[in-house]
Structure 1
């Protein structure tokens, strides 16, 4: 990464550049508690492997992490059982929406990757072998890495459970193939509660920092992931982290990234920093419209990309 100007100047410029893109998306309409979030919010934070932090806008406002939590759940599962995870979940881009059902049935209950909903449900099933409440395990793991006490938004969790009809269908289909081994409803409930974890941009950038530091967290001075695993997590983020728009997203941004329908995005610059951004309006793929533009501008202004 070639840093041509200060990160504070970069963030200030991005805040101006993204203004025309507000109003181009919609909040997550299928989750009532997220549908009503004020769409005119924007926050961005950078955490470097040297411990420097830079932030702008609503970077310290909590939002629903949603699918970004899948990254941390996967990290926990891989740390627990290693490559055995890949006997139940694939590593390929899906090319389909995150809650697509037909592909899963055609491929006999094995999800394409751990970041679509089917894959995340399989990971939750794995974590249920190690914790009675995997949602709390993921919350506490993210909180430890983010040097923060995180919470599960109970209203969002209830809202998700009440509308989780397709996730229930996915879980029951995988149960019929033996991909998940626990009660399907218990898996769905834990998954929905996990998605309801709230986080700020600053906390999220801190939590993902080990992925930029070869598995080591400079903040808590502890190795979180083996270096080999860190490379693989970043590879999965680059190829699967933004669902069926991953190709165009990689073309625009060129960084391993994970999106969530709460409007959050986190991007890793290996050996340098993590960038987190939040803006609630989504495109048709479930990725923050303004957030994607913010990361694209960041990549251009700093000349950073892994591609």
Structure 2
């Protein structure tokens, strides 16, 4: 296979003329201030190598990528009982839709749409004060990335809290159906803080490595989840990780992935690497426009698509 550094350098070079394409998430005031002409990419391989390009060391807002890590915490806490509260099917509707939630009696379609993620946060909150749950999540992220410099951006959290009317509606709606066990403002306090985590591509790629290595951190040998659970989280990322653009992402890229409206995407090449890409401009379904293109190029140039045959490691 071609050298990974030359592949990421080539992707960056190909995309440089397009920097600034897409639309930043302006409905969260703090995210509207981000310069759209930024692009970073980091690949952390299971054998301990790191390949970066562009703004890979610039922190950005993790937003919905946090849902993968909170789901991991919730599964660790209550196991398969998570699925009594949230489904596992693609939604096919907007990430903050309330229509589907009413139709399905307060059980969100999957853990990666907002309603599902709020239910997952409610599970993690059990037995904690909101500040303690936020602390557990922050410790978990620092442990996964092996980096204590990761922080939560209080300005972004406040910005979301002041404008997150739809999320309050979703939380109260689920509470009405008995699928939220804590006060909505407590759950959303944690939810807005988890989304406001500030992280770089390098840190995020390292944090996702356990999903590429059958549930273990290959650098420390630390077991995060079982191999079966890692496979299942990856399956959900492949089918539900990009809102109503999930099918198109699977079609074009063929890797489990989770996007966030901060412009980041975490993608997993099982057995090979964890990839983080960031470019703030979003496409019409709320996923990073150039980030998605970069991952499509990466999958083609490495043969890493999970749908590729064993003989397709060459350039596609």
Band the TM-score falls in, shorter-chain normalisation: over 0.9
**SS at 1:100 equivalent:** coil
Question: Are 2:88 and 1:94 equivalent residues in the alignment?
Answer: no
Conservation of the 8 A alpha-carbon contact between 1:136 and 1:194: no
1:283 corresponds in structure 2 to: 283
2:22 matched residue in structure 1: 25
| Partner Cα distance (2:66, 2:138) in 1 | 8
Which string of whole-angstrom CA distances, capped at 9 and with x for unpartnered residues, describes residues 160-192 of structure 1? 000010000000000000111100111111100
When the two chains are superposed, the root-mean-square deviation of aligned CA atoms in Å is 0.9
Q: Distance in 1 between matches of 2:136 and 2:71?
A: 12
Aligned to 2:128: 131
Q: Is the 8 A contact 1:21 1:289 kept in 2?
A: no
2:4 maps to: 7
Query: Matches of 2:46 and 2:127 in 1, distance apart?
Result: 31
Provide the rounded CA distance (Å) in 2 between the counterparts of 1:117 and 1:135.
Answer: 18
Q: Secondary structure of the equivalent of 2:22?
A: coil
Matched, 1:141 2:156: no
TM-score by length of 2: 0.95
Alignment match, 1:79: 76
Q: CA deviation at 1:220?
A: 2.7
Are 1:145 and 1:220, in contact at CA under 8 Å, matched by a contact in 2? no
Corresponding residue of 1:224: 224
What is the TM-score normalised by the length of structure 1? Answer: 0.97
Q: Which residue of 2 aligns with 1:36?
A: 33
Residues 20 and 251 (structure 1 numbering): CA distance in 2 closer, same or farther, change over 3 Å?
Answer: farther
Which runs of no fewer than 5 residues in structure 1 stay unpaired?
A: none
Q: Which runs of 5+ in 2 are unaligned?
A: 308-316
2:310 corresponds to: none
Which of 106, 109, 112 is the equivalent residue of 1:115? Answer: 112
The answer to whether the 8 Å contact 1:99/1:166 transfers is yes
CA distance in 2, matches of 1:21, 1:71: 29
Q: Quick check: 1:65–1:260 contact (8 Å CA) kept in 2?
A: yes
Matched residue SS, 1:216: coil
SS at match of 1:283: coil
Shift in Å, 1:20: 3.9
SS at match of 1:178: coil
| Alpha-carbon contact 2:67-2:112 (below 8 Å) kept | yes
Q: How many residues align?
A: 304
Report the 3-state secondary structure (helix = DSSP H, G, I; strand = E; otherwise coil) of the residue aligned with 1:25. Answer: coil
CA offsets 1:238-297 (integer angstroms, 9 cap, x no match): 000001000111111000000000010011000111111010001111100010000000
Matched, 1:103 2:103: no
